[in-house]
């Protein structure tokens, strides 16, 4: 018998005469190795799952006897399997809400009506609070689907599976074979010109996605009684209701119904990849690219994420054989709080064994934090477009995640489940609340500022491309020790060579004419001499420019080439692009970019402790010397390696070919490396000028509330000017 044998609400239903409605259909299934019974109302198509113990009692109900008479008789006959009064009240309320009960009379207002009213209020509150995820029913498509049995079998059988495998394989090969072009095309995905096309593509693919669910459901004998529109973040998308899969005995068939939509989208994405890879820029190419992105990235990130209650969630729940995984995980964490934090000894766990405890514990905490992460991201995106709507969403989210749980806790502390230990539970709740408040508002936590930067030498010579030229060959290797005048790189400029050759031939021709004039007519020699001198000056300038194509070390030192320079051999480089620098063996310093909103944290903390980790050598942490912040704004980065164009994380202006002009002003942080730092140390650190990395400056600790408040204020100031 259940531990919750008696209920304070029992007297309200004890005299009721209820039984299972005649329209209820019952199917026996196995979940987690245990027998369960799935109840379905033939008219409303609602489903309800009960344990074998609960089914034994429900099936014994009769309107000829009261609920109490039925229960007492069941206890007398099967004392070990009899449900407690609290469980009977809960199950009957849920059956009443699902219209699966028939009743002759309900004396008093009835606990069943009270519980069902609470359930309806919860559903209404859920819809109101989830206004960004609402559904609007349009029509029942089941009869329409029944007209196309041959089409459904043809598109869901073994030949269709083989075709799917072939197309997806070919599409994946087409996509991976054009990764470079794929990345370049992605920059225009969210452009204003592409947004209408992207929206139409998304709508059509989601319609086919839902048709995939419906077809697989119908193939295995299910019913699809709802087609409508789902508003996801104010975006209308189609949906179908395949709740009839609850009646499938095979969990693998249920999982396949859930996966059908993603399979359809991946098939379409593969077709899009193949079309995109063989077409030239245009409307067909753009449509194919949108189909490829929506069907792959979008489908896998959202529908393929089991922490969101989309397709992958239902697939996971079916494969691990735990229906209602999300709700039960929430109930399990509520049980843990009730049992171990509030000290309620009679709290009942929804987990039946160690396997379910592990699943509920892990999934509950992971889904909770991921929900916060996704909600925050959605709110920021909406606020960027519709600020007031985003603020309203933030308020609703705060109510859902903070105020509502506190309200439920208050109701729980004043409810019947903690009647035996109400005083102790209340004191514990107050103590935990005070401890949590101190933890967030008072207790200082480590606080630091992180900034991306690059190593520089205090004595170095920076070399640039002298003029437009092709990088023909790199002679010096990165880190190589050079002597003054030693060759570093060879550039080529065919136009310059052609101009020089033309000037040389013209000079030779004028030289012959000048000598002939000296013998025949000295009057003509003066103009020819002037032209010859001018041409000589021109050739000298061309010769100077040619000499610059042979890049040599202006001084002795170590060669540090510009980021990705070796990848540009054979390509044309514009004038002014950095080649690298020749660094004297001197002390190094780290120069980092500090955003404006973080700069004030560093002013006045020049002696703060700082650590450095270089990219590619992040397993070694280097303690830096004194940290200083240059007290004026800058726009020029210390190296193009810090900007987007050089593989860094700082946004740069797109019209700057050097990639060194930041999109926003910043402050510069400087920290000296230890004077005795060797070029290569035993611990694996090899600090060379030009290497990028991240510096962490530790500041005095702050409470979590103060840190969050400041970060939020900076976010609003930067994004919305508030």
Share of the chain above pLDDT 70, in %: 83
Closest CA to 338 of 403, 235, 269, 413: 413
Distance CA 514, CA 375 (A): 85
The mean per-residue pLDDT over the stretch 353-367 comes to 90
Average pLDDT, the chain: 79
Closest CA to 2 of 116, 96, 88: 88
Q: Report the pLDDT value the prediction gives residue 3, as an integer from 0 to 100.
A: 46
In the predicted structure, residue 621 carries a pLDDT above the cut 70:
yes
The mean per-residue pLDDT over the stretch 80-100 comes to 77
Give tens-digit pLDDT for 434-472.
998 999 888 888 888 888 888 777 667 778 788 888 888
Query: Is the Cβ–Cβ distance between 99 and 46 less than 8 Å?
Result: yes
108 falls in which pLDDT band (50, 70, 90)?
very low
Measured CA to CA in angstroms, residue 653 lies from 31, 579, 592, 650 at distances of 58, 20, 18, 10
In the predicted structure, residue 325 carries a pLDDT above the cut 90:
no
Say how many CA atoms lie within 13 Å of 548 toward its Cβ.
Answer: 18
Share of the chain above pLDDT 90, in %: 11
Most confident of 1-15, 108-122, 210-224, 567-581: 210-224
Give tens-digit pLDDT for 282-300.
888 888 988 998 888 877 7
Give tens-digit pLDDT for 672-698.
777 655 444 444 555 666 777 888 888
Distance CA 509, CA 202 (A): 71
Q: Report the pLDDT value the prediction gives residue 165, as an integer from 0 to 100.
A: 94
Query: Is the Cβ–Cβ distance between 100 and 21 less than 8 Å?
Result: yes
The mean per-residue pLDDT over the stretch 526-540 comes to 82
- Residue 617 φ/ψ, nearest 5 degrees: -135, 35
In the predicted structure, residue 354 carries a pLDDT above the cut 60:
yes
Indicate the DSSP class of residue 295: I
Q: Report the pLDDT value the prediction gives residue 115, as an integer from 0 to 100.
A: 47
| Class level of CATH domain 450-457+586-720 | mainly beta
In the predicted structure, residue 130 carries a pLDDT above the cut 60:
no
Least confident of 220-224, 560-564, 600-604: 600-604
Give 129 or 505, the one with higher predicted confidence. 505
The mean per-residue pLDDT over the stretch 131-155 comes to 84
| Domain coordinates in residue numbering, the chain | 10-122, 133-321, 339-443, 450-457+586-720, 461-568
In the predicted structure, residue 79 carries a pLDDT above the cut 90:
no
Most confident of 246-255, 599-608, 707-716: 246-255
The mean per-residue pLDDT over the stretch 360-376 comes to 87
What are the residues whose beta carbons fall under 8 Å from the beta carbon of 522, sequence distance 6 or more? none
In the predicted structure, residue 266 carries a pLDDT above the cut 90:
yes
- Residue 81 φ/ψ, nearest 5 degrees: -105, 0
Distance CA 50, CA 28 (A): 10
Distance CA 380, CA 376 (A): 6
Distance CA 581, CA 461 (A): 5
In the predicted structure, residue 111 carries a pLDDT above the cut 50:
no
The mean per-residue pLDDT over the stretch 122-141 comes to 64
263 falls in which pLDDT band (50, 70, 90)?
very high
Indicate the DSSP class of residue 677: -
Query: Is the Cβ–Cβ distance between 314 and 225 less than 8 Å?
Result: no
Give 542 or 34, the one with higher predicted confidence. 542
Least confident of 214-218, 222-226, 511-515, 599-603: 599-603
Q: Report the pLDDT value the prediction gives residue 219, as an integer from 0 to 100.
A: 92
CB neighbourhood size of 238 (10 A) = 17
The mean per-residue pLDDT over the stretch 49-56 comes to 80
Q: Report the pLDDT value the prediction gives residue 722, as an integer from 0 to 100.
A: 64
* Helix (H) or strand (E) run with residue 667 in it: strand 661-672
In the predicted structure, residue 126 carries a pLDDT above the cut 60:
no
Give 563 or 680, the one with higher predicted confidence. 563
The mean per-residue pLDDT over the stretch 516-529 comes to 74
In DSSP terms, which residues pair with 405 in a beta bridge?
none
Measured CA to CA in angstroms, residue 502 lies from 470, 495, 538, 539, 544 at distances of 21, 10, 11, 10, 16
- Residue 687 φ/ψ, nearest 5 degrees: -80, 110
Most confident of 242-246, 586-590, 710-714: 242-246
What are the residues whose beta carbons fall under 8 Å from the beta carbon of 31, sequence distance 6 or more? 49, 251, 321, 322, 323
The mean per-residue pLDDT over the stretch 205-234 comes to 87
Measured CA to CA in angstroms, residue 229 lies from 158, 206, 389, 494 at distances of 31, 11, 21, 63
Closest CA to 374 of 486, 277, 233: 233
CA-based torsion, 640, 642, 646, 649: positive or negative: negative
Question: In 106-248, where do the E strands start and end?
Answer: 133-139, 227-232, 235-240
In the predicted structure, residue 197 carries a pLDDT above the cut 60:
yes
In the predicted structure, residue 340 carries a pLDDT above the cut 70:
yes
């Amino acid at each position: 018998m259940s531990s919750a044998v008696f209920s304070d609400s029992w007297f309200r239903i004890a005299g009721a005469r209820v039984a299972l409605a005649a329209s209820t259909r019952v199917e026996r299934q196995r979940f987690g190795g245990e027998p369960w019974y799935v109840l379905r109302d033939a008219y409303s198509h609602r489903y309800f799952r009960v344990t074998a113990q609960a089914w034994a009692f429900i099936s014994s109900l009769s309107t000829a006897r009261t609920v109490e008479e039925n229960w007492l008789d069941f206890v007398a006959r099967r004392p070990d399997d009899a449900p407690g009064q609290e469980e009977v009240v809960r199950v009957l309320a849920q059956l009443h809400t699902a219209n699966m009960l028939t009743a002759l009379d309900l004396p008093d207002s009835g606990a069943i009506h009270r519980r069902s009213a609470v359930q309806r209020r919860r559903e209404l509150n859920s819809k109101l609070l989830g206004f960004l995820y609402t559904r609007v029913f349009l029509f029942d498509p089941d009869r329409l689907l029944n007209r196309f049995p041959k089409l459904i079998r043809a598109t869901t059988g073994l030949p269709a599976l083989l075709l799917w495998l072939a197309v997806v394989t070919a599409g994946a090969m087409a996509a991976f074979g054009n990764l470079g072009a794929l990345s370049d095309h992605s920059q225009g995905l969210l452009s204003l010109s592409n947004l209408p096309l992207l929206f139409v593509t998304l709508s059509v693919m989601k319609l086919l996605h839902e048709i995939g669910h419906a077809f697989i459901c119908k193939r295995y004998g299910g019913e699809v009684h709802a087609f409508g529109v789902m508003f996801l973040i104010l975006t209308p998308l189609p949906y179908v209701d395949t709740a009839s899969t609850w009646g499938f005995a095979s969990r693998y068939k249920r999982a396949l119904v859930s996966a059908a939509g993603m399979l359809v989208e991946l098939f379409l994405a593969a077709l899009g990849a193949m079309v995109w890879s063989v077409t030239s820029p245009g409307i067909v190419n753009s449509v194919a690219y949108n189909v490829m992105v929506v069907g792959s990235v979008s489908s896998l990130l959202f529908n393929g994420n089991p922490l969101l209650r989309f397709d992958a969630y239902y697939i996971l729940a079916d494969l691990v054989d735990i229906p209602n995984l999300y709700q039960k995980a929430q109930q399990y964490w509520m049980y843990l709080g009730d049992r171990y934090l509030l000290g309620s000894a009679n709290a009942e766990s929804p987990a039946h064994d160690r396997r379910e405890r592990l699943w509920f514990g892990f999934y509950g905490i992971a889904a909770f934090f991921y929900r916060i992460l996704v909600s925050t991201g959605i709110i920021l995106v909406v606020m960027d477009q519709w600020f007031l709507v985003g603020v309203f969403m933030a308020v609703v989210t705060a109510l859902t995640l903070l105020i509502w749980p506190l309200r439920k806790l208050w109701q729980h502390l004043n409810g019947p489940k903690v009647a035996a230990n109400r005083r102790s539970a209340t004191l514990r709740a107050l103590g935990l609340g005070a401890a949590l408040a101190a933890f967030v508002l008072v207790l200082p936590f480590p606080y630091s500022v992180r900034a991306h930067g690059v190593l520089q030498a205090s004595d170095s010579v920076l070399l640039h491309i002298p003029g437009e030229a092709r990088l023909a060959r790199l002679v010096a290797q990165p880190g190589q020790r050079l002597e003054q005048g030693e060759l570093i790189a060879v550039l080529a400029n065919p136009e310059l060579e052609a101009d020089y050759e033309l000037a040389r031939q013209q000079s030779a021709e004028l030289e012959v004419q000048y000598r002939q004039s000296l013998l025949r007519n000295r009057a003509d020699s003066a103009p020819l001499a002037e032209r010859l001198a001018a041409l000589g000056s021109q050739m000298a300038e061309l010769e100077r420019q040619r000499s610059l194509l042979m890049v040599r070390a202006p001084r002795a030192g170590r060669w540090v080439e510009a980021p990705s320079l070796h990848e540009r051999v054979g390509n044309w480089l514009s004038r002014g692009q950095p080649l690298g620098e020749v660094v004297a063996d001197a002390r190094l310093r780290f120069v980092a970019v500090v955003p404006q909103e973080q700069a004030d944290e560093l002013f006045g903390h020049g002696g703060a402790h700082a650590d450095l980790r270089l990219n590619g050598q992040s397993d070694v942490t280097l303690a830096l010397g004194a940290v200083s912040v240059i007290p004026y704004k800058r726009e020029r980065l210390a190296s193009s390696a810090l900007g987007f164009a050089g593989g860094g994380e700082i946004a740069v202006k797109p019209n700057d070919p050097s990639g060194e002009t930041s999109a926003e002003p910043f402050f510069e942080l400087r920290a000296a490396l230890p004077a005795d730092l060797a070029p290569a140390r035993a611990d694996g650190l090899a600090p060379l000028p030009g290497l990028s990395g991240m510096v962490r400056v530790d500041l005095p600790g702050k409470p979590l509330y103060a840190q969050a408040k400041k970060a939020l204020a900076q976010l609003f100031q930067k994004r919305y000017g508030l």
